[in-house]
Amino acid sequence: MAESMQGLKRTHRCAEVTAKDIGKSVTLMGWVQKARNKGGIVFVDLRDRSGIIQIIFEDGDINEECFETAGKLHAEYVIAVQGVVEERRGAVNENLTTGALEVRAYMLRVLAEAETPPFPVEENSRTKEELRLKYRYLDLRRPDITANLMLRSKVTMLTREFMAKEGFLEIETPMLGKSTPEGARDYLVPSRVHPGSFYALPQSPQLFKQLLMCSGYDRYFQIARCFRDEDLRADRQPEFTQIDMELSFVDQEDVMDVNERLLAYLFKECLGVDVPLPIQRMPWQEAMDRFGSDKPDLRFGMELKDVTELVKDCGFSVFSNAAALPDGTVRGINAEGMGNMPRKKIDKLVEFAKGYEAKGLAYIAIGEDGTIKSSFAKFFTEEETAGLIRAMDGKNGDLLLFAADRKKIVWNVLGALRCELAEEQGLLDKKDFRFLWVTDFPLLEWSDEENRFTAMHHPFTMPKEEDWDRIDTDPGSVRAKAYDIVLNGVELGGGSVRIHQNDIQEKMFEVLGFTKEQAWEQFSFLLEAFKYGVPPHAGLAYGLDRLVMLMTGADTIRDVIAFPKVKDASCLMTSAPGIVSEAQLKELGIEVTDTKESEQ
Ligand code: ASP
């Protein structure tokens, strides 16, 4: 029978009891992790968010009724216990911080009984994720998820503390707003008062934070929830959290400076890890050329090598044709020590490459004894093969993989392959934190789909002064004052210096194919505000979920979000999104014409 806790006051969390408390009486409350009834003695592992401590109920120490109750405890019962802290008589449990202690109980109260949970509440659960997410409130009791959320809380607390010390103001911006320029699909909220009109949930506080700069709040930050209606990949959520900031009267280096100090502070305080400053900088072009990615993982080598010149006139048409393309290239990576990879596995790599739009993958496998297996042997003389191996620094036992196509495809394929192989070789140590700033992004990106340039970051990103005179003649070559912070192959955050000059902004809209009217229609309030004195400003935003995922070593961001959504953007626990009543729709002036059958 469940009782109230009247008259009792918790003195400690379970794992906060230490050797200093030996001999003291404590009152603990929590969930039964495990109860073992050994006849005259009952052992209970008591759990709360801090961890576990062992409680002993022994006949004679405690009244008959309580002792009997102790014998009937089950997993997940909520209990209150009073007892005396003792040194553990049995073997010390090295896995628990309280493993050398136990509490000899003299009082027990059951505060709530519990049905058998649908899965055991335990660390490193083998339960299917769908089931865990359906009963997320039980899943959140598990120690590994608890530790993740505790670290997350620490990160946000420390961020607030750091930003306050650096003179930032925390200011909230609206959730119900207008479309922001981040380029993803918006989540829309219908307006009842303005039938047919919709708010957009913010993809980021971008425009508002720039307006705050216009208003003179020269250092703003916010731990901001953002919404993007994109097709979900493993590391995406429809709603996610950004550490968002904007600064006035600064240039790129100032933003990078504050942010690398923030990161160093967080890693030191949360993980005891020293981040050497300044963090390495790498221009975007170099990142693409060397790593095939704008978020290179620097924990391992396997850099891309350009062999276009060497093979452009060879007899292997896959190489020579690619080299002849206007933007064509032939590049390779050396997977050291993987030369004995079985044919079947290499075929799998070829399939993997095709997933990145490659037509195929050419390879040279060098055996430990120097024997060479090459997928294009018949088109190459022995000397040509030897020359290519030399260019790739190939040694006995190495596997050389080549992609030939337009640059964009080759970068993508080899960039992804590099990471795939590193994973396979166990080169990805989650405790090795390699930070990198990627700078000098292209201002514009050509969209084949839209047949026009689009902004690579967003339309308010400042071009590099020295490139601006090429905006009409060679817009694709203009670089931006944009920067991303990358950690172990993951883009942690990004930002830019913003345009604050009217003429540059107008030109930028023109290049992006906006008419003046269209630009004004979408961003009138910002452009209007800029007329009344706008300071030079710049900013950056981090994905908090990703940051915490990397800090905790979690495999997915779902493990660092209390109530995450799954791939199809639904919540398995609440079943959101859901159908609403006819009356609600009517009030909003909305008629639904298309419903997923499963939801009818
Ligand atoms: N608003 C940008 C983003 O969400 C970040 C920034 O430019 O500050 O990616």
Q: Could you give the CA distance from residue 420 to residue 284 in angstroms, rounded to a whole number?
A: 21
Q: Classify each residue of 408-446 as buried b or exposed e, where b means 16 or more C-beta atoms within 10 Å of its C-beta.
A: ebbbbbbbbbbbebbeeeeeeeeeebbbbbbbbbbbbee
Flag whether 592 is in a domain.
no
Tell me what pLDDT residue 390 has: 97
> Is the domain of 440 the same as that of 409?
no
Among the ranges given (281-285, 427-431, 453-457, 484-488), the one the predictor scored with the smallest mean pLDDT: 453-457
Q: Is there an atom of ligand 1 within 6 Å of 182 CB?
A: yes
> Is the domain of 258 the same as that of 193?
yes
Instruction: Name the domain boundary from 398, 424, 450.
Output: 424
Tell me what pLDDT residue 449 has: 84
Tell me the pLDDT of the chain averaged across its residues.
94
Q: Is there an atom of ligand 1 within 6 Å of 292 CB?
A: no
Ligand 1 centroid to residue 450 C-alpha, Å: 23
> Is the domain of 191 the same as that of 320?
no
What percent of the chain has pLDDT above 70?
Answer: 98
Tell me what pLDDT residue 508 has: 93
> Is the domain of 465 the same as that of 485?
yes
Flag whether 323 is in a domain.
yes
User: Are the C-beta atoms of 271 and 487 separated by less than 8 Å?
Assistant: no
Q: Using H for helix, E for strand and C for coil, what is the string for 500-553?
A: CCHHHHHHHHHHCCCCHHHHHHHHHHHHHHHHHCCCCEEEEEEEHHHHHHHHHC
Q: Is there an atom of ligand 1 within 6 Å of 241 CB?
A: no
Flag whether 454 is in a domain.
yes
Tell me what pLDDT residue 464 has: 97
Angle between helices 143-165 and 252-271 (to 10 degrees): 140
Comparison of pLDDT for 125 and 329, the residue scoring more: 329
**pTM for the model:** 0.94
DSSP conformation class of 556: S
CATH number where 466 lies: 3.30.930.10
> Is the domain of 255 the same as that of 342?
no
Flag whether 133 is in a domain.
no
Flag whether 456 is in a domain.
yes
pLDDT band at 225 (very low <50, low <70, confident <90, very high): very high
Ligand 1 centroid to residue 143 C-alpha, Å: 33
Q: Is there an atom of ligand 1 within 6 Å of 456 CB?
A: no
> Is the domain of 404 the same as that of 342?
yes
Tell me what pLDDT residue 597 has: 58
> Is the domain of 465 the same as that of 522?
yes
CATH number where 107 lies: 2.40.50.140
| Strand, coil or helix: 146 | helix
Flag whether 554 is in a domain.
yes
> Is the domain of 459 the same as that of 575?
yes
> Is the domain of 263 the same as that of 190?
yes
Mutate to test the pocket of ligand 1, among 173, 179, 182, 204 (most ligand atoms within 8 A of CB): 204
> Is the domain of 457 the same as that of 552?
yes
- Structural domains counted in the chain: 3
> Is the domain of 464 the same as that of 394?
no
Instruction: Work out the average pLDDT over 353-358.
Output: 93
pLDDT digits (tens, 9 = 90+) for 107-144: 999 999 999 999 999 998 899 999 999 999 999 999 99
Q: Is there an atom of ligand 1 within 6 Å of 540 CB?
A: yes
- What domain range is 155 assigned to? 146-282+435-582
Task: Kindly give the pairing relationship between strand 25-37 and strand 41-48.
Answer: antiparallel
CATH number where 381 lies: 3.30.1360.30
> Is the domain of 320 the same as that of 257?
no
Instruction: Name the domain boundary from 424, 447, 475.
Output: 424
Tell me what pLDDT residue 184 has: 86
Flag whether 287 is in a domain.
no
Tell me what pLDDT residue 234 has: 61
Flag whether 593 is in a domain.
no
Instruction: Name the domain boundary from 112, 136, 166.
Output: 112
Q: Does the pLDDT of residue 156 top 70, yes or no?
A: yes
